[in-house]
């Protein structure tokens, strides 16, 4: 589909189906679709999404972070008032757009640079530097991420606007999913990719310290991509393979249809989010919005987002997490956190996020 007329807002929407950023894009595009002059760069595999919403698009199938992506950007990007990158893989070469705006969700790759390979480190630094220096405005998702961007890039903080993510309204009540995803009757739930900074090893070690009765009551259900990462959590996979109690009681669902997620959250006994680093942390809010009690690591961005509506634990202490799971198993305590969580989640809406994005786009 070729560009027609004046493009006010051009969006690089190729990460539509990525976890995290994909949710961010899908939710905002459901509001942005009504904006006159919108146009998107897309992967052909996502054509149905854009045709269904009558969003004009240009096909651009180059891989994210690739050299070919950077070389072809200037030829694929049509003239536009604003070019918005929802991730920091912004064009290095000149493009035909009056203004550039980027969303940087976190600076994990800079904050943990010592763990990255030399090629990853160089490329991440190059792209992040390019994004912060050449973009007129930067959007990020928390005050914590804003501070991190300034800390690691030296960016002018006045360029950065903090816009919290929203929480999807509960859309689906389907509860007959046990066979489809091999769900146990009672489970501790985690949602997110299996990467080292998600700290799932601490969750597994905490599980091994639970009383035998709770181990027999609960399994661990992990919803998220298990393999295919440059920096996947091989230590976690090996731990599960070599520890019989974990091998028998950790369930990887594999791919989950988006319309099934509400029901999976609802069925969980407790949602556990042990992450060591986040820019925002959307899954805990989604769990709260679905009436599930939440236990989170005590890192700054999660405290900023979740407030007093979750039970926190020391992110590096499996025993502390085990104690918090035991405590949350008390129905009176869980009921209190469910009530607090529903109220907290209701404060984060995609409509409010959309309105604030429009202010930054200044169209």
pLDDT (tens digit, 9 = 90+) per residue, 118-147?
Answer: 777 787 889 999 999 999 999 999 999 999
Our count of domains for the chain comes to 2
Segment 150-172, tens digit of pLDDT: 999 999 999 999 999 999 765 65
Whether the pLDDT of residue 3 is over 60: the answer is no
Segment 216-225, tens digit of pLDDT: 999 999 997 7
pLDDT at residue 57, rounded to an integer? 96
How many CB atoms sit inside 10 A of residue 246's CB?
Answer: 18
Give me the CATH number covering residue 106.
3.40.50.2000
Compute the average pLDDT of residues 29-45.
Answer: 95
How confident is the prediction for the chain on average, in pLDDT?
91
Compute the average pLDDT of residues 339-357.
Answer: 96
pLDDT at residue 229, rounded to an integer? 41
Lowest mean pLDDT among 30-44, 158-172, 310-324: 158-172
Q: Which of 43, 52, 51, 57 is nearest to 4 (CA)?
A: 57
Segment 62-94, tens digit of pLDDT: 999 899 999 999 999 999 999 999 999 999 999
Q: Are residues 188 and 236 in the same domain?
A: yes
Instruction: Give the C-alpha separation, 325 to 322, whole Å.
Output: 5
Q: Are residues 325 and 261 in the same domain?
A: yes
Range of the domain at 328: 178-345
pLDDT at residue 2, rounded to an integer? 47
pLDDT at residue 115, rounded to an integer? 64
Whether the pLDDT of residue 297 is over 60: the answer is yes
Q: Are residues 152 and 206 in the same domain?
A: no
Q: Are residues 296 and 216 in the same domain?
A: yes
Q: Are residues 209 and 270 in the same domain?
A: yes
Q: Are residues 18 and 119 in the same domain?
A: yes
**Kindly report the CA angle at 113 between 89 and 131, in degrees rounded to 5?**
25
Specify the residue for token string 């900074």. Answer: 197
- Higher model confidence: residue 171 or residue 204? 204
In sequence order, the 6+-apart residues with CB closer than 8 A to the CB of 89 are: 12, 64, 65, 69, 127
For residues 82 and 96, is the Cβ–Cβ distance under 8 A?
A: no
Taking CA atoms, 29 is separated from 16, 23, 26, 69, 215, in Å, by 10, 10, 5, 23, 42
Q: Are residues 204 and 326 in the same domain?
A: yes
pLDDT at residue 156, rounded to an integer? 95
Q: Are residues 160 and 233 in the same domain?
A: no
Confidence of residue 271 (pLDDT cuts 50, 70, 90): very high
Q: Are residues 327 and 184 in the same domain?
A: yes
Q: Are residues 326 and 230 in the same domain?
A: yes
For residues 2 and 58, is the Cβ–Cβ distance under 8 A?
A: yes
Instruction: Give the C-alpha separation, 350 to 167, whole Å.
Output: 7
Domain assignment present for residue 90? The answer is yes
pLDDT at residue 237, rounded to an integer? 87
- Per DSSP, the three-state class of 151 is helix
Domain assignment present for residue 270? The answer is yes
């Amino acid at each position: 589909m070729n560009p027609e007329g004046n493009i006010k807002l051009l969006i690089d929407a190729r990460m539509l189906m990525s976890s995290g950023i994909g949710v961010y894009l899908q939710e905002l595009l459901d509001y942005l679709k009504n904006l006159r002059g919108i146009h998107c760069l897309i992967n052909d595999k996502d054509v149905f999404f854009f045709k269904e919403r009558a969003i004009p698009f240009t096909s651009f199938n180059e891989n994210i972070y690739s050299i070919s992506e950077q070389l072809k950007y200037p030829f694929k990007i049509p003239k536009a008032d604003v070019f918005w990158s929802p991730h920091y893989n912004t064009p290095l070469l000149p493009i035909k757009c009056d203004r550039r705006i980027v969303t940087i969700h976190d600076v994990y790759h800079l904050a943990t640079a010592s763990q990255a390979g030399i090629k990853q480190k160089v490329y991440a630094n190059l792209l992040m530097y390019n994004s912060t220096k050449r973009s007129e405005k930067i959007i990020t998702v928390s005050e914590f991420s804003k501070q991190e961007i300034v800390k690691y890039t030296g960016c002018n903080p006045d360029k950065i606007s903090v816009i919290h993510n929203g929480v999807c309204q509960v859309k689906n009540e389907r509860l007959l999913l046990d066979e489809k995803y091999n769900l146990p009757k009672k489970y501790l739930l985690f949602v997110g990719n299996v990467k080292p900074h998600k700290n799932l090893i601490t969750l597994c070690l905490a599980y091994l310290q639970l009383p035998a009765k709770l181990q027999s009551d609960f399994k661990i259900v992990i919803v998220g991509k298990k393999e295919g990462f440059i920096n996947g959590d091989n230590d976690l996979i090996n731990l599960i393979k070599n520890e019989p109690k974990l091998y028998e009681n950790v369930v990887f669902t594999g791919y989950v249809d988006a319309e099934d997620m509400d029901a999976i959250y609802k069925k969980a006994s407790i949602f556990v989010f042990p992450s060591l680093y986040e820019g925002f942390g959307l899954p805990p809010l989604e769990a709260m919005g679905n009436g599930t009690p939440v236990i989170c690591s005590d890192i700054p961005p999660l405290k900023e987002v979740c407030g007093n509506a979750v039970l926190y634990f020391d992110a590096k202490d499996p025993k502390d997490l085990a104690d918090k799971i035991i405590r949350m198993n008390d129905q009176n305590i869980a009921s209190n956190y469910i009530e607090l969580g529903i109220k907290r989640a209701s404060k984060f809406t995609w409509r409010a996020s959309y309105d604030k994005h429009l202010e930054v786009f200044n169209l």
